[in-house]
């Protein structure tokens, strides 16, 4: 916030204008600067306006402004600079200096830039979605080949079977209660436990061998695809 001409000869409004537009001499400062900068200051947020006014109009130093609130002078300096930066907003100054017509033009340009940015972001998301769809197809093909399923219809049936509720397996109350306590509510949940945990369903309390066998048989009977575990040998290494 320095200018190449004598500061004491300038009013607060002239100093502020010179800072905003980086004026090199007095001829660049308009005659109606007092009114223009008064409008600018009135349009600024009151919090910043008070510090800008103290600095430019009252000629207070950062240390003097900091004293009443026991603040750091550097903090006050940053507040003043931030207030000036807010006034430097192109659309804001266009409105102050040239009126509504220029303000609308600046706002329109800014909105166009924002729209272009949003369209770019949407295009990026659409590309990501396409890649995810391709990966999904690849993953489905991989799973289908591992399960040795020949038709897509049969594969779809396997996926759908994972959404079947355990309530449809006609399990005993003991098994249902044990599964519900650990939030295993679908066949998909059961398959995940058998896939992720060594020992599979034996990690569920109060099931025991009888309960695990009952669940495995019920899933196989319902879907035609057994769970990935052997009730007789739960710690068997999976292929």
Residue 131 has pLDDT above 70, yes or no: yes
Mean pLDDT of the chain: 77
**Domain-embedded: residue 234:** no
Q: Are residues 72 and 134 both part of a single domain?
A: no
Q: Are residues 19 and 74 both part of a single domain?
A: yes
| pLDDT tens, residue by residue, 138-197 | 776 766 565 555 555 555 555 567 788 888 888 888 888 888 888 888 888 888 888 777
- The stretch 27-48 carries a mean pLDDT of 78
How many percent of the chain have pLDDT more than 90?
8
Quote the CA–CA distance of 149 and 147 in Å, as a whole number: 5
Q: How many domains does the chain have?
A: 3
CATH number for the domain spanning 25: value is 1.10.10
- This prediction has a pTM of 0.37
Handedness of CA 80, 84, 89, 93 (dihedral sign): positive
Segments forming the whole domain that contains residue 56: 7-88
Take residue 19 and report the two structure tokens written for it: 């800072």
Return the number of other C-beta atoms located less than 10 Å from residue 166's C-beta: 21
CATH number for the domain spanning 175: value is 1.10.150.20
Q: How confident is the model at residue 91 (pLDDT cuts 50, 70, 90)?
A: very low
Residue 3 has pLDDT above 70, yes or no: no
How many percent of the chain have pLDDT more than 70?
75
Q: Are residues 17 and 83 both part of a single domain?
A: yes
Q: How confident is the model at residue 239 (pLDDT cuts 50, 70, 90)?
A: very low
**Domain-embedded: residue 121:** yes
Q: Are residues 72 and 141 both part of a single domain?
A: no
Q: Are residues 79 and 111 both part of a single domain?
A: no
Q: Are residues 138 and 183 both part of a single domain?
A: no
Q: How confident is the model at residue 89 (pLDDT cuts 50, 70, 90)?
A: low
| pLDDT tens, residue by residue, 50-82 | 999 899 888 899 999 999 888 899 999 999 998
Q: Are residues 84 and 27 both part of a single domain?
A: yes
């Amino acid at each position: 916030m320095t200018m190449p001409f004598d500061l004491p000869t300038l009013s607060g409004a002239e100093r502020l204008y010179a800072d905003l537009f980086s004026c090199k001499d007095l001829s660049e400062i308009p005659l109606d600067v007092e009114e223009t900068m008064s409008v600018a200051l009135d349009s600024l947020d009151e919090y910043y306006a008070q510090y800008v006014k103290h600095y430019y109009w009252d000629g207070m130093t950062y240390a003097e402004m900091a004293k009443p609130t026991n603040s750091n002078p550097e903090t006050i300096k940053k507040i003043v600079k931030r207030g000036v930066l807010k006034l430097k907003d192109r659309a804001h100054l266009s409105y102050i200096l040239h009126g509504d017509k220029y303000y609308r033009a600046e706002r329109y340009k800014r909105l166009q830039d924002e729209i272009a940015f949003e369209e770019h972001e949407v295009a990026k998301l659409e590309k990501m979605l396409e890649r995810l769809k391709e990966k999904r197809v690849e993953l489905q093909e991989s799973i289908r080949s591992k399960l040795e399923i020949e038709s897509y219809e049969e594969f779809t049936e396997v996926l759908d079977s994972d959404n079947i509720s355990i309530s449809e397996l006609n399990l005993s109350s003991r098994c249902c209660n044990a599964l519900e306590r650990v939030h295993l509510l679908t066949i998909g949940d059961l398959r995940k436990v058998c896939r992720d945990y060594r020992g599979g369903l034996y990690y569920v309390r109060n099931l025991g061998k009888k309960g695990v066998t009952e669940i495995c048989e019920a899933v196989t009977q319902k879907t035609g695809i057994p769970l990935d575990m052997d009730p007789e040998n739960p710690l068997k290494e999976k292929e």
